[in-house]
């Protein structure tokens, strides 16, 4: 079992976990990715790819749900089974990409990379989702550092 405490203040964690859970739920309602080769004519290949992707995403999301439903997370404690690490990391990435695309339009990629911006000048909703985005990033970094 991988266990660690987030560095972010637990008041922030408690405030943003509901946003993370909402984003988790909302991201599950997005459209399936489009087959990466638009000229492909093999319908069976495209169907197999889509089915495999759906199964993988469902498995990733199921493992992440365990983390998100753990009451300790709201207080800054992360617990993930080592055997589920890769699945959880992929699902965390999915949620971060979803938040980036749907909730952080007022941030440039450079601002998100460098942190060089004035948070109070951003829209209120974007501020909250930015903090959720940071918490997810810290969870990812913490998981990776625990196994490195």
| Torsion angle of the four alpha carbons 82, 84, 85, 86, in this order, in degrees rounded to the nearest 10 | 140
Asked which of 2-6, 58-62, 123-127, 132-136 is least confident by mean pLDDT, the reply is 58-62
Task: Tell me the CB-side half-sphere exposure of residue 99, using CA atoms within 13 A.
Answer: 27
| pTM of this structure | 0.81
Extract the tokens encoding 95: 């949620």
Across the range 77-82, mean pLDDT stands at 92
Q: Which residues pair with 37 in a beta bridge?
A: none
98 in Cβ contact with 30 (< 8 Å): yes
pLDDT value at position 47?
Answer: 74
Q: How confident is the model at residue 131 (pLDDT cuts 50, 70, 90)?
A: very high
Cβ-based neighbour number of residue 29 at 10 Å: 7
Tell me the percentage of the chain whose pLDDT exceeds 70: 91
Instruction: Between 55 and 68, name the one with better pLDDT.
Output: 68
Tell me the average pLDDT of the chain. 85
Please tell me the distance from the alpha carbon of residue 78 to that of residue 94, in angstroms, as a whole number. 18
| 2-47 pLDDT, tens digit each | 999 999 888 889 999 999 989 888 887 766 666 666 676 777 877 7
Secondary-structure breakdown of the chain: helix, strand, coil percentages, each rounded to the nearest 5: 70, 5, 25
Within the chain, strands assigned E span: 2-5, 77-80
pLDDT above 90 (res 114): no
pLDDT value at position 34?
Answer: 62
pLDDT above 90 (res 63): no
108 in Cβ contact with 97 (< 8 Å): no
Phi and psi of 28, rounded to 5°?
A: -75, -15
């Amino acid at each position: 079992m991988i266990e660690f405490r987030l560095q972010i203040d637990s008041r922030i964690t408690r405030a943003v976990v509901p946003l993370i859970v909402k984003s988790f739920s909302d991201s599950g309602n997005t459209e399936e990715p489009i087959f990466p080769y638009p000229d492909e004519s093999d319908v069976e290949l495209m169907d197999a790819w889509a089915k495999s992707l759906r199964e993988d995403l469902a498995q990733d999301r199921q493992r992440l749900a365990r983390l998100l439903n753990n009451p300790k997370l709201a207080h800054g404690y992360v617990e993930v089974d080592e055997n589920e690490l890769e699945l959880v990391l992929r699902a965390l990435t999915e949620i971060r990409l979803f938040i980036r695309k749907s909730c952080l339009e007022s941030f440039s990629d450079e601002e998100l990379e460098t942190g060089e911006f004035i948070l109070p000048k951003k829209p209120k909703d974007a501020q909250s989702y930015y903090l959720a985005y940071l918490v997810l990033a810290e969870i990812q970094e913490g998981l990776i550092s625990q196994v490195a």
